[in-house]
Amino acid sequence: MATTSFSSSSSSNKSISHRTFTGFGSLIKLLPTGTVFVFQFLNPVVTNSGHCTTLNKYLTSFLIGFCGLACGLSCFTDSYRGSDGMPHYGVTTMKGLWPSTAAGSVELSKYKLRIGDFVHCFFTMVVFAVVSLLDSNTVECLFPSFESTEKVLLMVLPPVIGTICSTVFMVFPNYRHGIGYPHATSDSSDDYVRL
């Protein structure tokens, strides 16, 4: 009888952790890959694997702020295929994409800044905040007394934020292929209506 309850408890823990990591993986898809890689690579170094001094806390806060800002700014970039067939990147403005050095026959005015870009910027930064602030090294460094409730937040927060962000991203779909995001392999991505 005791082994039955132990095995059901063990399978329940595996199920919870599987759902948590699945939700966490879905959230990461909404972020620019380079920024997440930089954070994941540097976070154990600047947090001293969770054993922080005051300097480590400042460095960790700076890393989170810098990477969060990079996630937000990447929402205001886009790319196009120039007349040379290569992808070119630029910053979205009210008039179109800038700089437009190799535009050729590409109409850059269709890459104008839209309201959806600001919505994506905000929610991308929220997703990055969840991913970065629930990292075990970050929690141990910045919030050492927080570890007891980390498991509850780790299980609840990613699916809740993922659901909210997914709903918002359905209302404001993002068709940009900016810096840090994969570029479309075909020109079919130009056949859409931008918000």
Q: Are 68 and 167 in contact (CB under 8 A)?
A: no
Tokens 């954070």 sit at which residue? Answer: 39
Q: Of all helices (H) and strands (E), which one includes residue 155?
A: helix 147-171
DSSP per residue, 54-80 = HHHHHHHHHHHHHHHHHHHHHTTEEEE
Specify the residue for token string 């050095």: 101
Predicted TM-score (pTM) of this structure: 0.72
Phi, psi of 107 (to 5 degrees): -85, 105
**CA-to-CA distance for 88 and 106, rounded, in angstroms?**
11
Structure-derived torsion over alpha carbons of residues 20, 22, 27, 30, reported in degrees to the nearest 10: 170
Amino acid at 119: V
Tens of pLDDT, residue by residue over 59-108, are 999 999 999 999 899 889 888 887 777 888 888 889 888 876 666 677 88
Q: What residue spans define the domains of the chain?
A: 22-76+117-173, 77-112
**Confidence class of residue 5 from pLDDT cuts 50, 70 and 90?**
very low
Say if residue 42's pLDDT is above 80.
Answer: yes
Chain segment 94-148, per-residue pLDDT in tens: 988 887 666 667 788 888 898 889 988 999 899 899 888 888 888 888 887 776 6
pLDDT of residue 142: 86
